[in-house]
Copies of this chain bind each other. A is one copy, B any other.
């Protein structure tokens, strides 16, 4: 991927808090939604990873900077790219934009675990290879 994947969404009323802005916890839902779509674009169906292939990619570390608040009914653009690819982990890097304004930056690290046991395992080639290609822009 020479450029990051972009995912668009609209802020819902339920996503706001009494400060009149999107609650900081809600961005993790937005980022997850963008991540599932990036995986789909890479040919990886996250649903079947869990249901059929019996492994999962839970979040193990998150860093997020809230630069400007998003508000109800805003249309947000989420840029998502593969930042790091480890043996048993992958980090997705994000920027959330409203028009040209950068609202939020985040790095979310996922580990690869077996289901149902939860033991760490290396990323299978069916996941690693497309993510590597996405990272290298090839």
Interface residues of A, Cβ cutoff 8 Å to B: 10, 12-14, 16-21, 23-26, 28-29, 32-33, 36, 45-47, 50, 56, 58-67, 69, 71-73, 115-116, 118
Apart from A12-B29, A46-B73, A69-B118, 15 more pairs, CB < 8 Å: A12-B33, A13-B23, A13-B32, A14-B23, A14-B29, A18-B20, A18-B50, A18-B71, A20-B116, A25-B32, A28-B28, A36-B73, A60-B66, A62-B63, A62-B64
A28–B28 Cα distance when bound, in Å, is: 10
Interface centre among A23, A26, A67 (most CB of B within 10 A): A23
Q: Are A59 and B24 in contact (CB under 8 A)?
A: yes
